């Protein structure tokens, strides 16, 4: 239990000017989690980042009560990694895929033409 964290969270919610239930909704955090945090429970990093982003306070401030000094002042967090999303392919990757599609197809004439072309280009 961390009563100081709970106190800082309560002050931050009041500064935003909404009640804890509305805060939980806006932060995309379960209301029960906010209730636990207001009782002294320190949340996971993901939830702590959401809380920090909504309040404009740093994670350091919530955990230690100290504001960041120097270059990183005002820094809350990097954007979360987006696992599972497709990245844009380079033009080379697109061409390789197209060539492989032709080579794997059943069209012998196209396959032979591609092979001859690649043979000429590799010389």
Question: What's the pLDDT at 107?
Answer: 84
More confident position, 66 or 41: 41
| CATH number belonging to domain 3-64 | 1.10.260.40
Question: Are 95 and 121 within 8 A, CB to CB?
Answer: no
Compute the CA torsion angle 43, 53, 25, 9 (nearest 10 deg).
50
Is residue 9 scored above 90 in pLDDT? yes
Average pLDDT over the chain, rounded to an integer: 82
Q: Please report, rounded to a whole number, the percentage of residues in the chain having pLDDT higher than 90.
A: 26
1/38 Cα distance (integer angstroms): 10
Q: What is the pLDDT of residues 95-123, one digit of tens each?
A: 888 878 888 888 888 888 888 887 888 87
117/115 Cα distance (integer angstroms): 5
Question: What's the pLDDT at 103?
Answer: 80
Chain centre distance of CA 54: 15
Question: What's the pLDDT at 2?
Answer: 82
Chain centre distance of CA 67: 23
SS3 41: coil
Q: What predicted TM-score, i.e. pTM, was given to this entire model?
A: 0.56
Domain extents for the chain? 3-64, 91-121
């Amino acid at each position: 239990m961390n009563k100081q964290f709970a106190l800082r969270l309560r002050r931050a919610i009041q500064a935003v000017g909404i009640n804890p239930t509305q805060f939980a909704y806006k932060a995309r955090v379960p209301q029960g989690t906010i209730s636990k945090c207001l009782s002294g429970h320190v949340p996971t990093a993901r939830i702590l980042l959401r809380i920090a982003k909504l309040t404009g306070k740093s994670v350091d401030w919530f955990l230690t009560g100290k504001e960041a000094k120097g270059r990183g002042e005002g820094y809350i967090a990097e954007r979360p990694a987006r696992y599972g999303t497709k990245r844009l392919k380079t033009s080379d990757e697109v061409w390789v895929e197209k060539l492989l599609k032709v080579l794997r197809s059943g069209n012998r004439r196209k396959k032979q033409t591609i092979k001859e072309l690649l043979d000429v280009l590799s010389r």
